Amino acid sequence: MILTASQRAILDSTAPALVVLGGAGTGKTTTAAHLVRQTLESASRDGRRERALFLSFSRAAAAQIMSRSGDILGPFADRVEVTTFHALAWRLITRWGGVLGVDDPVLFSPAERKVFGTSEGLGYSDLIPLALRLLDVPAIKEHVAARWSLVVVDEFQDTNDEHWALVRALSANARLVLLGDLDQCIYKVLPDNPGVGPQRVAAAMKLKGAIKITLPDVSHRDPSYIIPAAANAIRDRDFTSPAIRTALEANMLEVVHESAVSGEAAAVVSQVNQLVEQGLSVGVFSHHIDSTAQLSDDLNAAGVAHEIVGLPDAVDAALRAQYAMLQLACEEAEANDVLRAVAIFVASAERGADPPARALMIAGLAPRPESLTKRLDKLARVLHRATSLKAAFEIASDAYDAIGLQRGASAWRSAGRLLSNVLGPRVLGAEGLPPGGLSHAREAIDQQHIALLTNVAAGQQAPVQLMGLYQTKGREVDAAIVLLRSSDWYGRESEPMPDGSKLLYVLMTRARKKTVVLTIGRPMKPLVAPLAALA
Ligand SMILES: Nc1ncnc2c1ncn2[C@@H]1O[C@H](COP(=O)(O)OP(=O)(O)OP(=O)(O)O)[C@@H](O)[C@H]1O
């Protein structure tokens, strides 16, 4: 890869704080990877073994880029820690929490809190504030700040005040590289994550010695610039722009409409198959986590191999529920532990602030129909009777159907695959139940739990990937299918849709070769109606 002159200017800069701005695909992350390599290599030549930290919101994005950057980092890859804000906060809490009386921290998922209303333990939103309190302790701050000589922050425009305070504390002794694009400030509408946009850039520019480099509008993702130009027009709400016409004529943008809501699955499957047949990797971007899960079930039914990126709660909850079933078989857990875990899974697979009635029934917090009680009792009985771990594993894998669960079948299956990886073929294939019990797997399961809850699970690189609209940042695919339903909700904005249009811009700039906008049902919400009208 030959870096452009403006990318080289980033490598040549010695500023202690470097703000790198640039549109989608201009190479911010790639150039940062080069800078990391250059920094570590030059320290190494001087006999210093330095480390770099690469912080992002979701590791899925950063990991994808870093895996593509493997060649760039070369032998220095193992000195680069790629992590999320929440995972880093968790690490600090597990290491130093005792100082504030948090000796054995337990992290509860939102679904767990939803069903049981517990206020014990830590929730997701407690992590960064607690980490900040730890970093107020001078000895801890000093120790932590000595770890990295370079800190890179991806999607820096979206850092809220807590993230920013964390970045400042971590980089007290490090060079800071902040990558951003104000047109991709999309987390503003999400709860707990009000990004700040321009004010954050202004704050960064006040850091001592800070300089700003803006990369020109050259997309290395789509060097023809046809897709980015259309994305710019869509962001600017200029739906009659020649750039959109050009993209449509070049068949790099296609808008397809399916009027029947019931036709969604068939329409997605057909689009995915057409793109896969052309040898393209495909990203399917759809609005909500639960609709993503449903879509995944539909793709499975149609035999389309794929992977869900970022379904943290449901996969995590399914993993723990199946693990609890194995523990029951090994007499390391009670039937109630299994019910509790299954209830959390049911809650995690459904959206909404209230726990689903079925979750409450399974947890024993609401009266159960007799049929459900029978199925749950039978499950506990067969698990008790299982004579090998393999048999128990099969019962746990089938429990989704045996209990009659209705949402999140893919999450249940993914969790089964994760669990079998964690246990390994030797343990799963052995005769009888493991004499030493399952304690050896406990740590791995707990780590998996934390990884999922802190967004560290990067997912594999399957050729077809499904993800929520807000998980698309930083990702790159050959072809993107942007699924827009008449029922999707984008907030109450009115024209010119300042936040929603940024979300559309992110979605429209992920593809190297082609973006298909698939609209389902009518009428579409105002944000996407003019786009749907291009069908
Ligand atoms: N100088 C270059 N020559 C060739 N390819 C490049 C160059 N710079 C970046 N790329 C490639 O362009 C693509 C986009 O780069 P990258 O992901 O770093 O951009 P970005 O600015 O971080 O994008 P986004 O903001 O959309 O996440 C990647 O596939 C990367 O490998």
Ligand 1-lining residues (CB < 6 angstroms)? 1-4, 7, 22, 24-30, 65, 68, 181, 220-221, 474, 476, 509
Fold classification of 226-309+461-532 is: Rossmann fold (3.40.50)
How remote is the CA of residue 502 from the centroid of ligand 1, in Å?
19
Residue nearest to atom 23 of ligand 1 (CA): 25
Read off φ and ψ for residue 13, nearest 5 degrees: -70, 145
Helices (H), 236-303: 242-249, 264-277, 289-301
DSSP 471: G
- Count of CA atoms in the C-beta half-sphere (13 A) of 183: 21
Gyration radius of the chain over CA positions: 24
ipTM for this model: 0.99
pLDDT digits (tens, 9 = 90+) for 189-248: 555 555 667 888 898 999 999 999 999 999 999 999 999 999 999 999 999 999 999 999
The residue ranges of DSSP E strands in 62-119, in sequence order, are 80-84
Query: For residue 426, what pLDDT is reported?
Result: 76
Average pLDDT over residues 481-485: 95
> Where are the domains positioned within the chain?
5-214, 226-309+461-532, 312-446
Tokens linked to 506: 């992110």
Query: For residue 532, what pLDDT is reported?
Result: 95
Fold classification of 5-214 is: Rossmann fold (3.40.50)
Using DSSP's 3-state secondary structure scheme, residue 285 falls into strand
Sorted by sequence, the CB contacts under 8 Å of residue 173 that are 6+ apart come out as 145, 146, 149
Residues in the chain: 535
- Binding residue numbers: 22-29
Is the previous residue joined to 425 through a cis bond, with omega within 30 degrees of 0? no
Residue nearest to atom 5 of ligand 1 (CA): 220
Do residues 138 and 166 touch, judged by C-beta distance below 8 A? no
Read off φ and ψ for residue 285, nearest 5 degrees: -105, 120
How remote is the CA of residue 26 from the centroid of ligand 1, in Å?
5
How remote is the CA of residue 506 from the centroid of ligand 1, in Å?
14
Tokens linked to 102: 């948090």
Using DSSP's 3-state secondary structure scheme, residue 20 falls into strand
The residue ranges of DSSP E strands in 396-510, in sequence order, are 464-468, 477-485
How remote is the CA of residue 236 from the centroid of ligand 1, in Å?
23
For residue 3, pLDDT beyond 80: yes
Instruction: Look over the chain and give the mean of its residue pLDDT values, rounded to a whole number.
Output: 88
Query: For residue 190, what pLDDT is reported?
Result: 57
Q: Among all chains, which residue has been given the structure tokens 């999707």?
A: 488
Do residues 501 and 527 touch, judged by C-beta distance below 8 A? yes
How remote is the CA of residue 233 from the centroid of ligand 1, in Å?
21
Is the previous residue joined to 110 through a cis bond, with omega within 30 degrees of 0? no
Do residues 495 and 174 touch, judged by C-beta distance below 8 A? no
What's at 451, amino acid-wise?
Answer: A
Q: What is the enclosing helix (H) or strand (E) of 14?
A: none
How remote is the CA of residue 28 from the centroid of ligand 1, in Å?
7
Which atom of ligand 1 is found nearest the CA of 510? 26
Out of 221, 225, 505, mutate this one to test ligand 1's pocket (max ligand atoms within 8 Å of CB): namely: 221
Which atom of ligand 1 is found nearest the CA of 179? 22
Task: Give CA separation, 268 vs 329, 349, 472, in Å.
Answer: 40, 21, 18
Which atom of ligand 1 is found nearest the CA of 22? 21
pLDDT digits (tens, 9 = 90+) for 440-457: 777 777 776 776 666 655
Residue nearest to atom 27 of ligand 1 (CA): 474
